[in-house]
Amino acid sequence: MLAIQPDRDAWIQETSTIIRNKLPERAEEILDDTLYLFKSDISLQSTGDRGLRGLFVQTLFSNAGLLGFFTSVRKTMERRALFTCEEGEIGNAFHEIRPGDMVCLFAGSCLPLVVRPTVEGCFDDYRLVGPAYVHACMNGGLLDDDESLLDEFLIV
């Protein structure tokens, strides 16, 4: 079980990782130039200004010569949000996620699922928010064989 926090800066980290993986020899130059532009324009740093952040990411991929790749990623991430787990893992889920939601690995499921307590502060009943992608959790990656570590959840 991982508590999650939607993270407005996770997209910079995720995008930077993609650029480093796709163009390792040019990545730092591209990232330095684009991040300089981002940091010099205070309006790009405002919370909730998704249009400007999207423009920043599009500029980054365009500078890297990966605009086609950016378009594919943008379509994949439509109506999804990046988040950071307490342990530092970055993931994505439907944009309805909120602080305090949890990513859970259910026995028999190959996907992590986001759940939300039905009453804030009460951890008895949960509502299913939807599937998530957290690389370390995929296909049971963090599941322990010790069944005594399993918790029971009531999804309502």
pLDDT tens, 135-151?
Answer: 777 655 555 555 656 67
Q: Give yes or no: residues 105 and 60 share one domain.
A: no
**107 falls within a domain:** yes
Cα four-point dihedral sign 101, 105, 106, 111: positive
**141 falls within a domain:** yes
Q: Which of 82, 116, 146 is the last residue of a domain?
A: 82
Number of domains in the chain: 2
**1 falls within a domain:** no
pLDDT in tens, 94-120: 888 888 888 888 877 778 889 998 877
Q: Give yes or no: residues 63 and 89 share one domain.
A: no
**44 falls within a domain:** yes
Q: Which of 45, 66, 82 is the last residue of a domain?
A: 82
Identify the domain containing residue 119 by its residue range: 83-155
Instruction: Decide: pTM greater than 0.75.
Output: no
Instruction: Please say if the pLDDT value at position 1 is more than 50.
Output: no
- Other C-beta atoms lying within 10 Å of the C-beta of residue 102: 20
Q: How far is CA 7 from CA 12, 42, 80, 99, in A?
A: 10, 18, 12, 9
Q: Which long-range contacts (CB under 8 A, 24 or more apart) does 60-65 make?
A: 60/15, 60/19, 60/30, 60/31, 60/34, 61/15, 61/19, 63/30, 63/33, 63/34, 64/19, 64/22, 64/23, 64/26, 64/27, 64/30, 65/23
C-alpha 108: how far from its chain's center?
Answer: 23
Q: What is the pLDDT of residue 130?
A: 92
Helices (H), the chain: 10-22, 27-40, 50-63, 67-76
Q: Give yes or no: residues 48 and 111 share one domain.
A: no
Q: Which of 46, 63, 82 is the last residue of a domain?
A: 82
Q: Give yes or no: residues 31 and 47 share one domain.
A: yes
**87 falls within a domain:** yes
Q: Give yes or no: residues 77 and 114 share one domain.
A: no
**2 falls within a domain:** no
User: For the purposes of burial, counting CB atoms within 10 Å of the CB of 107, is it exposed (0-12), middle (13-18) or buried (19 or more)?
Assistant: exposed
Q: Give yes or no: residues 100 and 59 share one domain.
A: no
